[in-house]
Every structure is written in C-alpha cells, then in structure tokens.
C-alpha cells in the first residue's frame, strides 16, 4: 500500500534537502517547469485533488480562478495553522518532510504565477517552525527558491510566518487579514481571495497536506493518483484517531477506508473497559457519527451522505465513560473563545451555548435550556453567520443532541452530571 | 432599473444598490446596525436578514443579509418570512445577552436605535439567564462619554472614526465577546470629527458629554432647524433647548451640504449661548446704577443718533437680515462690513472669482466626488473642517473605482473595496505654510510661504495652458511639483482646487482661480472651493459695504463720532492698539451683541441680542448657498431680542424712512430681496410665517414633550401661554401638524418607530439622497459663463526675509480660532496657549528655544509670546494663532520687529 506523503518520514527526523532529493524530491518541480502554468493547473484540476484542510474543494478549480494576465504581485499561501481540536496530521508533514511541502508550494506558485509565498504556521508548532526555516534556507541555497528557479526564469520568494494562536486564522480570509497585520476577522466573499486576497492581490491559500501532494501528482500522474484511492476522491489521506483507543495516532491510508477499519485495524480498537459511542470523523467541527456508521467509507462524499463531514480526517472518539455533554461543553468552550467577535450570532451565541452546557453539567440546566440549544444549532447554521466557525461549532452539538439526547435530559432531570462531572 | 418582488409586491428599484438600502428607500422597515448609509456594508451584525427565493416555485428560500446582497432584476425576497423574522428577533436576543438594559439611566434612551430595532423585531423577553460580561470605561476627553457595557459590537464607531474620518487613536481590541472599542488607554480622542460617534453609535456607548452636563431626553427638548456658526461652510444643525438653555447640537441631514456629519467645533461650540457672559439687559453706561428699562435706553439711543454723526459696523457672524437692517438704519454710505481688512479683501476677491469665473464652486457633497485635489494655503482641518472630510472621500475616489473594476463588487461593499484599495490614494497636493493633519493623504505635501504657494499656483495654471508669463525662479523641486500637479489635474475627470482665507494671501486665490480657468479651457468640469472665514462672510460681502479702515478713518478724522456695532468684537478685527485708539475717539458706541467681550467693555450702550438659537436669520456659506436658521426658543427675558428687531426698533424711534413698515422677519426679508437683487429667492428658503399645514403650525416640540404644566410652577401654578412666533411657521409648543413638514423647517427628525437620528431614512427621497422636496438652501452664485473673468496676471512677489523682522502669518486652530465656540468649556480646554511659531533658523538667530518668551513689536506696540519652533516654516516668517483669545494681533500678514 503506497503512502507517498509519509513513507519517507522517519520518526524524530526531518528530511534534509539531500535526503529528500535522494527520494525523488524536486523531480516534480523539474517536470512542472517543463509545462506551462496553465498545464499544471489543468493537471491538478483533472486529478480531482480535493482540499485537505476540511472543505474538500477542488484544488485545481480554485487555482483556475486566479487571473493570469494581470499586473502586480500574486501570492501563494500555505495554511499551516492547524488548530482544529483533535487534528495533528499537518504537523507530521511539516516536521517530517518540509521539502515536500516547499516543492509543492513552488509548483503551485508557478501554476498561478505567484512571486511571493508564505507558510502561515501555527504558533505552537515550534519544531515545525525550525524545520521549515531550515528547509527554506536549503531550498534557496539549492536554487529552488529566489531568482530564475531551475533556469526557467521563474522567481519566487518564500517566508515563514508564525501566527499567534488563533483558530480563526485557519479560515483563509481571516488568515489573510492576520498576515496583513490586521485583526484576524474573516472577509466577505465575493470577492474571493483568488481575485482580491493578500494585500488586495490575487492569492491562493492551500492546506499543508494538499500542497504536499502536488509534487507527487505532477511526478506520477493522474492515473496513479486516482489508483491510490478506493473511491472517487483520489489519492491517499492522512487519517487520525484520538480518544480512548489502544493506539491513537495518524496513518496515511487510501482515501475511503471505513471508520471501522481505522478504529479497529489501525487504532487497535477501544481500550479495555470502554466501548465506542460515537466519533467526530473529521475533527472538532464535524457532526458525530455512531456505531451505525462504522462502515461508512471515509471520503468527502460518503461522510457527507452519512450526515457529517470528512473535515481533516482526524477522528475524535467518544467512549461510554465520557459524558457527551461534558465532551461538547469542552468543544463549545473552545469555539466560543476562538470566535473572532465580528458577527453577532457567533460572538454572542457560542458563549450562550457554552454557558448552558456548563449549567447542564453542574445540574443547573432546564428543559428550556435544551430548547435554547436546539434553537442555536438551527440559527447558527451556514449562511446565518459571517463565516463557517459557528456552523462548525454547532455540528458536534446538534449531532450530540440528536444521538445522545437522553444524556442531556438525564442531566436536567437528575440535576447533576450522571458521569460524575462537577460533583463534589 | 430592476423589478423586484418583496413579500408579493412588485417594485421598480435602482440596480447596483444593496437590498437593505433599497428596502429602506421604499419606506419599508428593516432593522440594521452595522450598515450606515455613509459607511456602506460589512455584514457584521446579521440584523438585516431577509429571505430570498430562487423563483416563484421556491418556497423554502435562503436567509441572506440584505445589506450584503445586490439588487438583481426579478429578485424575490421576503421581509415578513417567519424564519427571517425569528432570526432577526434572535439577533436582538443575542445582543441583549450582554447589554445592561439600563435605558432608564442611559443618555441614549428615547433616541436609541437599539431600542427602536428591539421593538421593531418584537424581541420582548430575555431568555438568557447567565451573567453578563462587563467592561471598564475610558476617559475620552471633554466631548464624549464612554460606556462600553452598552456596546453591541456593530463596529460602526471604528469604521467611522478610522476608515471614514482617518482617526488614528481609536480601535477595536480583544476578541470573541470581549471585543472592546476605545483608545489604547484613557485620553482625549484626537479626531476633529469624534462627536459623530454619538450619532453613529446605535446605542449609548458614545454619548454627548456636553449634553450630559445638562441632560434632557430627546422628547423633552424644543428644537429648530439651524445652521452652524462655526465656520464658513454652513453645516446644517438641529439645536435643542429646555428650561431656557441650549442643550445639544445634532446633525441636520442635508444631502448637499454636510450629509450625516458635523465637526466637533460645530457640534460642541454651542455653549456660548448659555454663557454667564451673556448680555441680558439693555444698558447705558452713563446711566449705570439707575433703574432704567428698555424704553429709556431706546430714548437715550434716539437722542444720541439724532445728535451724532453715525456710522454702522456690521458683522460676518450676524444674519443677512440684521446686517441689512443696520445698513438701512445708517444708510449705505455709512455701513461698514466689520471684517478685518485682510478678510474683507479676500472675501471680495472670492466673490468676484465665484461670480465672474466659469468654474462651479461645489457643495461639500460634490467636492467629495472629486478625483484629484489641489489645496493651496489652506489648513482645512482647522479652517473648514468638514471640507477636509470631503477631501478624504475624494482621495479614495480613484483607487475605489479601480478596486471595484478588479473585484467586481459594488461601492457599498466597504470592507472588500478597502481591501482591494489598500492604502492607495488618488492625487492630492497640499501646499501650506506649515504641515497639516491632512498631509497623510497627500501625494505631495509642500510647505512654503503663501507668496510662493501663489507663484507655484500661477506656474501650474501656465503649465495647464493659461496665457501667463513664466515664473522662472521656482526651485527644481517646485518645478517638478508643478509638472506633477498639472498631469494629475489633466488626468482627472473632476479636478478640485481648494484655497481661501487661510493663506491670508490674495495671490493664492488668484492662482486657484487661474488653475480652474485653465482647466475650464480644456473643457474639464473642474471645481473651485474658496473658504470663507465666518458663517456669513459671503452673505455680508454680497450685501456690500465699506471696509473697516474707512470706519476707523471716519472716526479718526472726526467725520463720525457715533458708531453702532452689530454682533462684532472689533478687537478681533483690529490689532489691540488700533482698536483702543478707535474707541478712544468714539463719543458713543452702541453695541448690539450677546456676549460681554472687549468691545462691550468700550460700549456706551449695550443692546442684548439673541444668539442664533434665539433668532431667525439667513446666512450665505462659502459656496454662495443661502441658508435659513430658525429660532429655537424664546429667551427667558424679553430684553433679549434678535439684532434685526433691535434695529427695526431703532428705526422706529428715529423715524427711519428706510425701515418703515417693517415689523416681522418676513418684512425684513421682503425689503432685502427688493433692495439687493442678488438675494432674490431667499424669501423661499423657508415658508413664510403664515404658512400652515391643515391649518396648523409646525411644532418645535415632540409630541411626548413632558412637564409643560409643571416646569414653570415655581413662577405660576397655571401654565403660562406659550410665546407666539410671528416670524416663522413654527410654534413654540407641542401642538401642531404632526406629519412631515417641508424639508427646510424640519425641527427634528422623528418617525413612528424611529426615535433615533436614523429616522432620517424616512425623510429622504432615497437613502443617502436629498430630503423630500429637496435639500434646504439656495445657491445664489452660479458660474457666470459671461466671460467676465480672465486670467489674473498679478503674480505676488517672492517672499523675502527681512533682517530683524518677522512676517506674521496666521495659523488656525479648530479649537481657539473661532470667536464664539471658545466659550464652551470643553473647547476652551483644547485651545492652545498663545504662541509665536518660528523656523529653527530664526529661533537660533534670535537665540530662543521652545517655551522661551519672544517679544515682537507691531506698529511700535509690543506683544510677547511663547516660542514654538517648526522646521517646516520659512525663515523670516512667524506663525501666530489666528483669533486665539489673548493674542492681540489680528491683522496678518504684517511685519513685526523683533
């Protein structure tokens, strides 16, 4: 089973440029530079590579919206602000194989003819920062960055920018504002960043995993890419599992493995004495799936059909000893705190849900509170808020209310947390 | 035009606008917070949600924010849709989770947009039962109160303060539900437009601090439409009174003048009306101590006028009617305008240029549409602040257009347009004697002597093709600047040139005229703004009269010995020693004014005049726009009356033929329009006194006005008869016609369900457009086109520094240079102390440094100032704060000996 993104990564080691080149690194770039930018975009579009940041939008399609015959700078940005609770897949790539990302970024920048690129890195990823900084320097020294790359007349600068730890910066337009030195609040679309992005110039923002795939697709072609997958969504995917399983971790697997395979074969099943109640399949901002969904293939389309989202592909498992209300309370605390404060429903609605969940946990919740929670899951839906943060925050809550309703009601009726949270 | 369907009804609407402003323009009620007609849309508050439907079959629809959606032909939307209405109600529910519900003790209560929107959405029960977050408030200076707990985070304040008005010291801090709007630490808000926050804020976070000193609810005040007295721009204001004191000034929307905003001098400079220095009784100095009434004083004046050789001195801060009445009383040959000679000459020239030139002088709203700006010798933020706000919008014009072209979003998409614009500005050139706070917008800001500014301007006119002699002695830098400006003006579609009284140099005005005339020859629709020093300088000039020096001459050589001074402090028109000499030679000085000032000190007779708040009158702004202000309230004492009414009385006691048969305001206006043809039409500025709607007058008081039966109970337990207004169609009561009055006589903006200033929406033809039946005011000057004005050829000589001497030039201060506003404590607090500003070379030469004292002599009279040093100032020049109390030097420019 091929794992192009991670097979060369060794634990505790970051591939330097020599080792990376020895494994075929920068061959994709050489190949891409023989193509026109439009050909590169067309190739990626045809491969049906879907964004690995969570939304699953076609990468090639995104690039194709960048105007190609305009004056002035364009930007390519790697979104490495991995802050989704339960998600740690990009970190693996950033720390283990930074050149793979850099090569992907150079090819992508070439495709849209960007001349400046940024890695927007989560502040807490200190090790990754160090490796990326070193790798960028190596790439400059080797002539992969800077003027006249590979003698093909293409010019690209690359900078590492470390954020200050705001979940909001994972939203691409808030990331752009933050990178400009402004408040990390999202922007209205249209105009899309492809037209008016960083400093009002055409900009592409892609996820680490997405960009890391580009060299491989260019190198080995579309057929190869699609053959890696079990489903219509091509390639492999880095999946992760956290929670009370025997072997929490992340694995690069064919797109479309089932939840059951992931849970039982790779994560080693539930720990002794715990049983599976449900999981957030794609990180904290996705809907719970339950044991009824264990055979759903983990690809964008299938998970959506099951009522959740593939998101980042990193599953957070809820076991039978953990209070679902407490579980969701913890998440809503995070989301409320990470709300940027720009639009009303998110700024005021999320703290409200957090407070209700806390009250439920303390045995102070009422039936009316449950109604308020239901109301919020409806009113904080997509389109009602300025960006996707609050709708994402509502996904675990709405599905918990759906699948674990009896737990919520128990909190109300017993006037305490049945799992013993907040009891003295 | 597009056809859209709202809740099943079909409307024809303008394309390209957003759904919110479209619905509001149609008169529909739709709640909103973050959107503001002048600030555009950002989609933050989510309050204006509506449902849109794909087609007739679509019954589910999609919730959208109406402020963010453009009008499209055949669009179907619903305001009343249940889900949309429920969402809007919940938005208020969310906002209320942290709002303190302190309406009863909040200054905004009763004129609060948040209250109105809460009622509009139907939110009436609070489901939130957890604790609220609280904030600490800040000290923001003398003008604004800060109460952050009331904040609903609509972001309007920062969007106005930073993005629209260019302020630097206010921002939004922190995140999630802790976001905080204020300064980085306590301190005075620096912007000249900070007071607008009180109107922009939809609730009680920013409220008027001066109102708080004598707080009254909106519904408890008596109002009248008025015009700002703070500078020559004539912004429209609404003034509110209770218990005989003026309480508050708010913006009176005028689509052609000031739009939605005012500057802080205009908003807060009103407290002179309540000053303890008000003249409240008619008095005769010779009879001090005796108990005499108005009749005796009039008798005394009658005798003096009969025996004396009388001249009259008018005033640029008095109404046309008062000046006209004085002119009629003393006779044209004896009427002097009462401006300083410099200002007189500058205003004469400005009027000539506007009347005889080919170039249109724009309103402030038109000026904001310019796409290239050249400012010559004017520190706009201090001489005509609101025009600076227009310039700020004008410099965005070109980059905003580019941004819209590349991003394909509408101009109301504020955040998107600003993002695509970045920090780009259109061409703007600012030439002044010292740097200005507007320089940050300038493509080039250049400091030099006024004469050199004029010479650069002449060179620019020549570069644009004016048939003028070359100016050979410009520096390379100046020559380059000329080339750059010429290119920018020629590339622009609507170039704007601004000059005026600030430079105190006629050459600068001539240069500005030449530039515009040259552009006119290229068929460019250029615009020329000439600022005027005071609220009625232009009107007074149009009325016509003699210079002040001829009054001084007449008194000095004995041709006159009795002078009637109308609302004028001659110590602000003449240098102190000159004024002292003048008064020493006068036998009788009859002063009609409202504040006890240096001239009152010399007066032999005082007649207490009503301020703008106690008078009706007409003024003409720098644009030549005649505007009417109406009396807000009847003064507590009948001894105080309008200046023109005093003058009519003097006319009666002296049997003045020219004032015969005049009793009411309309009589004066009628005579004025008959005698001075250029004022034809001003009788229609407001409807006449006998105007009625449904047989009723228009009430100055809101229908909820409270306490009228009790407020004078300390005087009499029976409610006294309210004063009768024989001069205007307004009544001094709460009774009268409750519908919408003609736009020129709207005493206050109020509409059912719309208690805040945002009720303006209901009075406009379309949102952001004119008021129904037109914006008030009438332009009296239009470009002649009769070709009378040719190019000025008299180029001023180069400024040459003169050893041992300093050329004194005026420097202006928004807080301090204007006579009346300094009587507001908050404005006085922000005034500088008198100073003399030197170049570093002169400071070295005269061996002085900052804070040292320097004595200069004007006409042999010594004046001492504290020294300030400014590297931008030309050697040999010294700046003196114009009009600042305690300065003593008025006539500038003039030479002073060190």
Q: What is the ipTM, given to two decimal places? A: 0.96
- 3-class SS at B130? coil
Could you say which of B49, B128, B415 has the minimum Cβ distance to residue A188?
A: B415
- Residue B786's pLDDT is 62
Handedness of CA B781, B783, B789, B795 (dihedral sign): positive
Cα→Cα distances A61→A44, A110, A188, Å? 8, 15, 20
CA B298-B304-B305 angle, 5° bins = 85
Looking at per-residue pLDDT, the higher value among A221 and A232 belongs to A221
Q: Report which of A42, A71, A68, A34 is spatially closest to residue A152, judged by C-alpha positions.
A: A34
Distance from CA of B486 to the nearest CA of A (A): 26
Q: To which H or E segment does residue B620 belong?
A: strand B617-620
Q: CB distance from A191 to chain B under 8 Å?
A: yes
Rounded average pLDDT over A412-416: 96
Q: Are B270 and B260 in contact (CB under 8 A)?
A: no
Q: Report which of B114, B103, B218 is spatially closest to residue B156, judged by C-alpha positions.
A: B114
Sheet of strand B778-779, all strands in order from the earlier edge strand to the far edge: B617-620, B625-629, B778-779
CA distance B599 to B596: 8
Angle between helices B548-556 and B576-585 (to 10 degrees): 50
Pick among A188, A193, A358 to test the B interface (most B CBs inside 10 A):
A188
> Cβ contacts (< 8 Å) between A350 and chain B: which residues?
176
The torsion region of residue A163 among left (phi > 0), alpha (psi -120 to 50) and beta comes to beta
> Cβ contacts (< 8 Å) between A199 and chain B: which residues?
422
- The torsion angles phi and psi of A320, rounded to 5 degrees, stand at -80, -5
Residues 41-80 of A with CB under 8 A from B: 70
Residues of B near A (Cβ–Cβ under 8 Å) read 42-47, 49, 62-64, 68, 87, 90-91, 94-95, 97-98, 127-128, 130, 152-153, 155, 172, 174-179, 403, 406-409, 413, 415-416, 419-422
Q: How confident is the model at residue A403 (pLDDT cuts 50, 70, 90)?
A: very high
pLDDT in tens, B266-283: 999 999 999 999 999 999
Cis peptide before A191 (omega within 30 of 0): yes
Q: CB distance from A165 to chain B under 8 Å?
A: no
CA distance A347 to B475: 58
Whether residues A188 and B420 touch (CB distance < 8 A) is answered with no
Whether residues A341 and B95 touch (CB distance < 8 A) is answered with no
Sheet of strand B75-78, all strands in order from the earlier edge strand to the far edge: B9-13, B2-6, B75-78, B49-53, B62-65
Q: Which residues in B559-573 are b (16+ Cβ under 10 Å) and which e?
A: ebbbbbbbbbbbbbb
Q: Are B310 and B562 in contact (CB under 8 A)?
A: yes
CA B92 remoteness from chain centre: 35
How many Cβ pairs within 8 Å bridge chains A and B? Answer: 110
CATH architecture of B2-95: Roll (3.10)
Q: What is the DSSP letter of B641?
A: B
Q: Report which of A53, A81, A59 is spatially closest to residue A160, judged by C-alpha positions.
A: A81
CA distance B41 to B247: 33
Which chain B residue has its CA at the smallest distance from A336's CA?
B176
Whether residues B95 and A344 touch (CB distance < 8 A) is answered with yes
Q: How confident is the model at residue A54 (pLDDT cuts 50, 70, 90)?
A: confident
CA A137 remoteness from chain centre: 26
**C-alpha dihedral over A265, A267, A272, A276, to 10 degrees?**
-90
Q: Report which of B552, B616, B563, B571 is spatially closest to residue B591, judged by C-alpha positions.
A: B563
Alpha helix ranges (H) inside A165-207 = 172-179
Q: Are A269 and A247 in contact (CB under 8 A)?
A: no
Q: CB distance from A169 to chain B under 8 Å?
A: no
CA distance A390 to A377: 9
Sheet of strand B245-251, all strands in order from the earlier edge strand to the far edge: B222-227, B236-242, B245-251
Q: CB distance from A368 to chain B under 8 Å?
A: yes
Global confidence as pTM: 0.96
CA distance B595 to B276: 9
Could you say which of B45, B127, B178 has the minimum Cβ distance to residue A372?
A: B127
How many residues in chain B? 898
Three-state secondary structure string covering A287-332: CCECHHHCCCECCHHHHHHCCCCCCCCEEEEEECCCCHHHHHHHHH
Strands B495-500 and B245-251: unpaired
Class of domain B805-897: mainly beta
Strands B805-811 and B894-897: antiparallel
Which chain A residue has its CA at the smallest distance from B126's CA?
A372
> Cβ contacts (< 8 Å) between B170 and chain A: which residues?
none
Whether residues A384 and B406 touch (CB distance < 8 A) is answered with no
Pick among B31, B41, B46, B417 to test the A interface (most A CBs inside 10 A):
B46
Distance from CA of B594 to the nearest CA of A (A): 50
Whether residues A383 and B64 touch (CB distance < 8 A) is answered with yes
Pick among B33, B48, B130, B177 to test the A interface (most A CBs inside 10 A):
B177
What is the tally of helices (H) and strands (E) in chain A? 16, 9
Distance from CA of B95 to the nearest CA of A (A): 7
At the topology level of CATH, where does B354-532 sit?
Answer: Dimethylsulfoxide Reductase; domain 2 (3.40.228)
- 3-class SS at B300? helix
Whether residues A345 and B46 touch (CB distance < 8 A) is answered with yes
Strands (E), A208-244: 236-242
Domain boundaries, chain B: 2-95, 103-271, 354-532, 805-897
Q: Tell me if domain B2-95 and domain B354-532 are identical in fold.
A: no
Q: Are A254 and A224 in contact (CB under 8 A)?
A: no
Q: CB distance from A338 to chain B under 8 Å?
A: yes
- Positions of chain B with pLDDT under 70: 784-787
- Cβ contacts of B128 within 8 Å, gap of 6 or more: A352, B93, B96, B97
Whether residues B176 and A338 touch (CB distance < 8 A) is answered with yes
Pick among B406, B411, B422 to test the A interface (most A CBs inside 10 A):
B406
CA B99-B100-B106 angle, 5° bins = 110
Q: Report which of A141, A151, A70 is spatially closest to residue A102, judged by C-alpha positions.
A: A141
CA distance A279 to A294: 10
Q: Are B624 and B780 in contact (CB under 8 A)?
A: yes
Beta-bridged to residue B50, according to DSSP, are: B64
> Cβ contacts (< 8 Å) between B421 and chain A: which residues?
200
- 3-class SS at B549? helix
- The torsion angles phi and psi of B516, rounded to 5 degrees, stand at -70, -40
- Residue B308's pLDDT is 92
Distance from CA of A186 to the nearest CA of B (A): 10
Q: Report which of A346, A236, A250 is spatially closest to residue A4, judged by C-alpha positions.
A: A236
- Residue A111's pLDDT is 97
**C-alpha dihedral over A63, A67, A72, A78, to 10 degrees?**
-10
Pick among B176, B417, B421 to test the A interface (most A CBs inside 10 A):
B176
Q: Count the Cβ atoms, other than its own, within 10 Å of residue A292.
A: 10
- The torsion angles phi and psi of B150, rounded to 5 degrees, stand at -80, -5
Alpha helix ranges (H) inside B369-505 = 380-383, 385-407, 414-421, 450-463, 476-491
Whether residues A341 and B49 touch (CB distance < 8 A) is answered with no
> Cβ contacts (< 8 Å) between A339 and chain B: which residues?
175-177
**C-alpha dihedral over B497, B500, B503, B504, to 10 degrees?**
150
- 3-class SS at B803? coil
């Amino acid at each position: 089973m091929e794992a192009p993104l991670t097979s060369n990564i060794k634990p505790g080691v970051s591939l330097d440029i020599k080792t990376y080149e020895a494994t075929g690194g920068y061959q994709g770039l050489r190949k891409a530079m023989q193509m026109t930018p439009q050909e590169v975009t067309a190739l990626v579009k045809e491969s049906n590579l879907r964004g690995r940041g969570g939304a699953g939008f076609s990468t090639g399609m995104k690039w194709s919206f960048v105007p190609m015959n305009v004056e002035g700078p364009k930007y390519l940005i790697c979104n490495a602000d991995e802050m989704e609770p339960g998600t740690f897949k990009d970190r693996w790539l950033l720390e283990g194989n930074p050149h793979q990302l850099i090569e992907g970024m150079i090819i992508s920048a070439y495709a849209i003819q960007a001349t400046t690129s940024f890695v927007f890195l989560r502040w807490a990823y200190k090790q990754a920062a160090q490796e990326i900084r070193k790798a960028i320097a190596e790439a400059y020294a080797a002539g992969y960055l800077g003027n006249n790359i590979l003698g093909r007349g293409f010019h690209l600068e690359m900078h590492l920018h470390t954020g200050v730890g705001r979940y909001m910066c994972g939203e691409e337009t808030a990331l752009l504002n933050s990178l400009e030195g402004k408040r990390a609040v999202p922007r209205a679309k249209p105009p899309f960043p492809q037209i008016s992005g960083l400093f009002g110039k055409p900009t592409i923002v892609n996820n680490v995993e997405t960009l890391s795939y580009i060299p491989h697709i260019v190198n080995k072609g579309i057929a190869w890419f699609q053959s890696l997958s079990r489903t219509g969504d091509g390639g492999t995917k880095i999946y992760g599992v956290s929670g009370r399983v025997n072997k929490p971790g992340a694995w690069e697997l064919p797109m479309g493995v089932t939840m059951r395979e992931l849970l039982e074969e790779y994560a080693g099943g539930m720990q002794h004495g715990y049983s599976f109640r449900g999981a957030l399949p794609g990180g904290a901002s996705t809907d719970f799936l339950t044991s009824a969904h264990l055979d759903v293939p983990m690809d964008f389309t299938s998970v959506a059909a099951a009522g959740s989202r593939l998101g980042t592909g990193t599953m957070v498992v809820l076991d039978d000893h953990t209070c679902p209300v407490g579980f969701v309370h913890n998440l809503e605390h995070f989301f409320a705190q990470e709300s940027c404060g720009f639009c009303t429903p998110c700024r005021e609605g999320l703290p409200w849900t957090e407070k209700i969940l806390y009250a439920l946990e303390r045995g102070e919740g009422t039936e009316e509170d449950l109604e308020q929670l239901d109301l919020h899951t409806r009113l904080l839906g997509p389109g009602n808020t300025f960006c996707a943060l609050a709708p994402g925050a509502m996904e675990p809550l709405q599905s918990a209310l759906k699948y674990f309703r009896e737990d919520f009601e128990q909190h109300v009726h017993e006037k305490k947390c049945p799992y013993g949270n907040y009891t003295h | 035009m597009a056809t859209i369907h709202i809740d099943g009804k079909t409307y024809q609407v303008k394309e390209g606008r957003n759904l919110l402003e479209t619905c509001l323009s149609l008169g529909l009620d739709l709640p909103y917070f973050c959107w503001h007609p002048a600030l555009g849309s950002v989609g933050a508050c989510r309050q204006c949600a509506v449902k849109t439907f794909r087609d007739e079959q679509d019954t589910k629809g999609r919730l959208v924010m109406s402020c963010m959606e453009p009008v499209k032909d055949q669009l179907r939307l619903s305001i009343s849709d249940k889900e949309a209405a429920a969402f809007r109600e919940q938005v208020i529910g969310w906002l209320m989770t942290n709002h303190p519900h302190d309406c009863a003790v909040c200054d905004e209560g009763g004129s609060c947009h948040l209250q109105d929107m809460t009622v509009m959405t139907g939110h009436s029960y609070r489901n939130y039962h957890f604790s609220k977050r609280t904030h600490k408030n800040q000290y923001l200076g003398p003008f604004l109160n800060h109460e952050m707990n009331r904040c609903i985070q609509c972001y309007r304040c920062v969007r106005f303060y930073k993005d629209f008005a260019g302020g630097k010291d206010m921002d939004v801090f922190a995140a999630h539900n802790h976001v905080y709007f204020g300064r980085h630490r306590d301190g005075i808000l620096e912007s000249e437009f900070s007071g607008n926050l009180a109107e922009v804020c939809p609730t009680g976070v920013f409220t008027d601090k001066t109102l708080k000193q004598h707080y009254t609810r909106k519904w408890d005040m008596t109002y009248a439409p008025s015009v700002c007295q703070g500078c020559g721009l004539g912004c429209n204001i609404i003034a509110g009174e209770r218990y005989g004191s003026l309480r508050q000034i708010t913006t009176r929307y005028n689509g052609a003048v000031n739009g939605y905003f005012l500057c802080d001098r205009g908003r807060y400079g009103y407290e002179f009306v309540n000053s303890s220095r008000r003249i409240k009784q008619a008095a005769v100095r010779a009879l001090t101590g005796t108990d005499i009434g108005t009749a005796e004083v009039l008798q005394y004046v009658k005798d003096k006028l009969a025996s004396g050789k009388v001249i009259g001195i008018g005033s640029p801060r008095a109404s046309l009617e008062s000046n006209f009445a004085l002119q009629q009383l003393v006779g044209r040959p004896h009427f002097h305008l009462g401006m300083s000679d410099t200002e007189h000459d500058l205003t004469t020239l400005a009027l000539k240029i506007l009347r005889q030139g080919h170039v249109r002088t724009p309103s402030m709203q038109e000026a904001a549409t310019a796409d290239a700006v050249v400012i010559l010798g004017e520190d706009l933020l201090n001489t005509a602040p609101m025009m600076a706000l227009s310039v700020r919008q004008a410099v965005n014009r070109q980059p905003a257009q580019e941004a819209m072209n590349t991003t394909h979003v509408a101009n109301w998409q504020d955040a998107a347009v600003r993002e695509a614009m970045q920090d780009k500005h259109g061409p703007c050139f600012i030439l002044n004697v010292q740097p200005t706070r507007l320089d940050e917008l300038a493509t080039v800001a250049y400091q030099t002597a006024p004469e050199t500014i004029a010479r650069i301007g002449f060179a620019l006119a020549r570069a644009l093709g004016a048939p003028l002699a070359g100016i050979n002695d410009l520096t390379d830098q100046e020559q380059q600047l000329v080339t750059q400006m010429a290119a920018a003006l020629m590339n622009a579609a609507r170039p704007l040139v601004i000059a005026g009284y600030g430079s105190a140099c006629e050459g600068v005005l001539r240069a500005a005229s030449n530039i515009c005339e040259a552009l006119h020859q290229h068929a460019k629709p250029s615009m020329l703004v000439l600022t005027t020093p005071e609220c009625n300088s232009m009107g007074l000039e149009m009325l016509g009269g003699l210079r002040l020096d001829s009054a001084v001459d007449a008194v000095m050589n004995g041709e006159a010995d009795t002078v009637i001074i109308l609302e004028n402090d001659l110590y602000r028109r003449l240098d102190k020693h000159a004024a002292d000499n003048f008064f020493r030679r006068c036998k009788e000085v009859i002063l009609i004014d409202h504040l006890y000032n240096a001239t009152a000190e010399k007066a032999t007779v005082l007649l207490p005049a009503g301020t703008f708040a106690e008078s009706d009158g007409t003024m003409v702004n720098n644009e030549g726009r005649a505007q009417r202000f109406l009396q807000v309230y009847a003064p507590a004492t009948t001894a105080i009356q309008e200046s023109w009414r005093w003058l009519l009385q003097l006319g009666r006691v002296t049997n003045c033929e020219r004032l015969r048969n005049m009793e009411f305001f309309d009589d004066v206006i009628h005579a004025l329009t008959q005698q001075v043809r250029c004022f034809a039409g001003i009788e229609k500025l407001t409807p006449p006194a006998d105007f009625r709607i449904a047989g009723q007058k228009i009430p100055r008081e809101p229908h909820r006005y409270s306490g009228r039966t009790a407020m004078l109970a300390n005087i009499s337990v029976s409610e006294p008869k309210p004063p009768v207004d024989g001069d205007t169609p307004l009544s001094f009561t709460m009774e009268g016609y409750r519908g919408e009055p003609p736009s020129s006589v709207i005493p206050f903006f109020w509409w059912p369900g719309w208690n805040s200033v945002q009720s303006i929406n209901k009075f406009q033809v379309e949102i952001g457009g004119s008021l129904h039946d037109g914006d008030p005011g009438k332009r009296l000057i239009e470009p002649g086109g009769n070709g009378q004005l040719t190019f000025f050829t008299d180029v001023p000589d180069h400024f040459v520094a003169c050893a041992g001497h300093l050329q004194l030039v005026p420097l202006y201060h928004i807080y301090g240079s204007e006579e009346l506003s300094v009587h507001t404590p908050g404005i006085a607090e922000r005034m500088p102390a008198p100073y003399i500003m030197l170049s570093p070379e002169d400071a070295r030469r005269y061996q002085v440094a900052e804070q040292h004292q320097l004595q200069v002599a004007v006409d042999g009279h010594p004046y001492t100032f504290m020294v300030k040093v400014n590297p931008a100032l030309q050697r040999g020049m010294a700046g003196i704060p114009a009009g600042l109390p305690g300065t003593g030097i008025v006539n500038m420019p003039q030479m002073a000996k060190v």
